[in-house]
Structure formats: structure tokens, C-alpha cells
A and B are shown apart, each in its own frame.
Chain A
Amino acid sequence: NAGVTQTPKFQVLKTGQSMTLQCAQDMNHEYMSWYRQDPGMGLRLIHYSVGAGITDQGEVPNGYNVSRSTTEDFPLRLLSAAPSQTSVYFCASSSFSGLNNAEAFFGQGTRLTVV
């Protein structure tokens, strides 16, 4: 029972490099999201998707791109890495619940350092 899988777990990039953080879920969830967590701050929403082919911006989208070609995968692309993007990144997935007791499942996180 894999849940939400993120790769890689750790990554060091040089300023200006690009890379893709992978996220996959095997629960057939409609919703997927990317968050970043910085010291002393809560998780902040970068981008989210409510279904395949549909994406939208969150609170801190600048410098990141996403796409959702399948239900299972939601990669996050850093176009030109900057030191300000040093953070821990979490991917989450969830299903629409209405008023039910629902939850978002999170991956283990990717710790990214940009030097």
C-alpha cells in the first residue's frame, strides 16, 4: 500500500539548474497538491490540481510549473533554481468528501537545497 510516493528524498542543485520533483499516488484520488515547508512557517500551497488536465496556482507559485496528464502523477518543475527555493517539498492527494471526515495524504517529502 504505497499511498503518496515522492522522489527524490534529497536533492542539491546549483543556482540556475532545473529539475522535476516527482509525485505519484495509487489511491485514485482526484485532488493533488504541492506544498513547501520553511523553518518557522507552516506548509504553503504552491500548485494544485482537481483532476487530470486541470491545474491552478496556490499561494506561492512563482518559479514552479506543474502538469497533470494522468490521475496518478503530479510532477513539480523548478525552471531555474534559486536559493530561495531551498525548502522541504510535500506532495498531497485527497478525494472529494463533501461533509465527511476526509483527509489529505502526504508524501514523505523532498528536501531540496539550492546552492
Chain B
Amino acid sequence: DQQVKQNSPSLSVQEGRISILNCDYTNSMFDYFLWYKKYPAEGPTFLISISSIKDKNEDGRFTVFLNKSAKHLSLHIVPSQPGDSAVYFCAASPNFGNEKLTFGTGTRLTIIP
């Protein structure tokens, strides 16, 4: 039972364009959502997060949108850069904490120069 779903295993985007990565969840108890970026042979690194009391959080080129009624969140990267090529994981937590994260299966983003 996959409680956090990333239905696109891969995505290719032209450099300079917008990258949109999607994530759906089923557990209504989740109230904190995070995006992590992972390069090969490295651990995941934190990108941006959003709590359920917000519908948008922005940090530089990265914006996360949360639609609670649809149980859907998305990560927008604009403009996309070659260094953004990585696997992106969506994660969720039930208690505004970080010790029990449920991860999606990841989306491999490739930025085409």
C-alpha cells in the first residue's frame, strides 16, 4: 500500500524551462511534506518543505504547492538548470516532524542543455 505516490518515474526538461514534479498521497494524517534531491552514490539532501496549514512555499527557484483536498503536491523548478538533474523524492510525515518519513518512489529529472 503505497501511501505516497510519484507516478512519473522520469521527466526530461529543456534547460531554462519549468520542471514540474508531482506527488500524491493517501493518508489524511500526513501534515508535513518535504522534497529531497538525490545524486547517485550520495544520501538524499533536503530541498524544500511545506506544512499542511499552507498551500505554497517558495525558496529561490523552487516552489512547492499543496492541494489538501486533492491530496496532491507539486514541486516547480524555474528556471531549470543542468545541475538539477537528479532523482527527486517526495516525503510525508504525520506529526510535523522528520523522524518518520514516508517516501515516494522518486522521479528522475533530466535537464537537457
Q: Would you call B44 and A97 a contact (CB within 8 A)?
A: no
A98 to B44, CA, bound (A): 22
B98 partner, pick from A4, A102, A109, beta carbons under 8 A: A102
Binary interface encoding of chain A residues 10-46 relative to chain B, with 1 for a CB under 8 A from any of its CBs, else 0 = 0000000000000000000001110100001111110
Cβ-based interface call for B4 (8 A): yes
Q: Would you call A98 and B98 a contact (CB within 8 A)?
A: no
A42 to B102, CA, bound (A): 8
Q: Would you call B100 and A33 a contact (CB within 8 A)?
A: yes
Q: Would you call B103 and A43 a contact (CB within 8 A)?
A: yes
Q: Would you call B100 and A48 a contact (CB within 8 A)?
A: yes
Q: Count B-side interface residues using an 8 Å CB cutoff.
A: 28
A94-B99, A105-B46, A109-B43 given; 15 more Cβ-contact pairs under 8 Å: A33-B99, A33-B101, A35-B101, A42-B91, A43-B103, A45-B100, A49-B99, A58-B100, A92-B43, A94-B97, A97-B96, A97-B98, A99-B51, A101-B49, A106-B45
A4 to B44, CA, bound (A): 12
Known: A41-B105, A90-B44. A31 touches B96 (CB 8 A): no
Binary interface encoding of chain A residues 38-75 relative to chain B, with 1 for a CB under 8 A from any of its CBs, else 0 = 00111111001110000000110000000000000000
A3 to B103, CA, bound (A): 22
Q: Would you call A103 and B100 a contact (CB within 8 A)?
A: no
Q: Would you call B46 and A104 a contact (CB within 8 A)?
A: yes
User: Which B residues touch A104, using CB under 8 A?
Assistant: 34, 46, 98-99, 101
Q: Would you call A43 and B101 a contact (CB within 8 A)?
A: yes
